[in-house]
Chains A and B, each alone.
Chain A
């Protein structure tokens, strides 16, 4: 099995998980004991990560299928114990699902960039479509500076290229 450290050494996976669970969450993953199942309290004690952070991290990972638990009920007290283990081996599949979900946003943005002409206020750094700029007589509605044509070809081309690469990676080119 690919180790957690190995996965976290991949800059993209690291950045993806960091956005999901933050620095402290990453620390929990790095110190997570290999193998076995552990309660949140055990994990907090073993890793030195704050209990609330441990819980929050585990639930966040669970929502993305990257952690699982087994629930045990104490027959005498009726108390429930949750024993956790990681499923980071699924990270590529989970990431793929998310990328598939957001691909339509990227397509929509590219279509918008391609079908519009843009104007920009150099003072306010605000970009307007041709229609909006024309409505303002090509003057910035905030500072009345003349709007200048904004060439979006470079960013549109970069986005187009990346969308192609994403589709190729997803096998849907």
Chain B
């Protein structure tokens, strides 16, 4: 895969809801024709899917990665990052008080929903 294809795939993956092809070439700072070729190669490789989309009456495509990038929200509870991420303390997850606090935040979020 060329660098440009890799970059295009990263951009598509980072937009969980998908990105319009008419926006993609601007984000990649390339022309639309080159973008079409890159998109075709990613489609042929089965890495993305293409859904017809109308934007202000103009036909374009919504591009979505088949292997979606992780949803970063899964590490947050009440705005707090899961304490295990980047933790360098000796790990006893069963008795970790930081993890318990985070679980309380989670439960609170659930309750509020």
User: With A99-B74, A105-B93, A158-B103 given, is the CB distance from A2 to B110 under 8 Å?
Assistant: no
**Which one, A48-56, A137-145, A164-172, is touching chain B?**
A164-172
Majority secondary structure, A binding face: helix
Write the chain B residue with the least CB distance to A159.
Answer: B103
**Which one, A25-33, A39-47, A74-82, A88-96, is touching chain B?**
A88-96
Number of A-B residue pairs at CB separation under 8 A = 106
Which residues 61-117 of A sit at the B interface, judged by CB distance below 8 A?
89-90, 92-93, 95-96, 98-99, 102, 105-106, 108-109, 112
B11 and A2 within 8 A (CB): yes
Instruction: Give the residue of A19, A89, A93 whose beta carbon is less than 8 angstroms from that of B85.
Output: A19
A-side contacts of B107, CB under 8 Å: 154-155, 157-158
Number of interface residues of A (CB under 8 A): 37
Within the complex, what minimum Cβ distance (angstroms) separates B33 from chain A?
A: 20
B47 at the binding interface (Cβ < 8 Å):
no
Kindly state the separation between the CA atoms of A105 and B110 in the bound complex, as whole angstroms. 21
Q: Give the interface of A toward B (CB within 8 A).
A: 1-2, 7, 10-13, 15-16, 19-20, 89-90, 92-93, 95-96, 98-99, 102, 105-106, 108-109, 112, 154-155, 157-159, 161-162, 165-166, 169-171
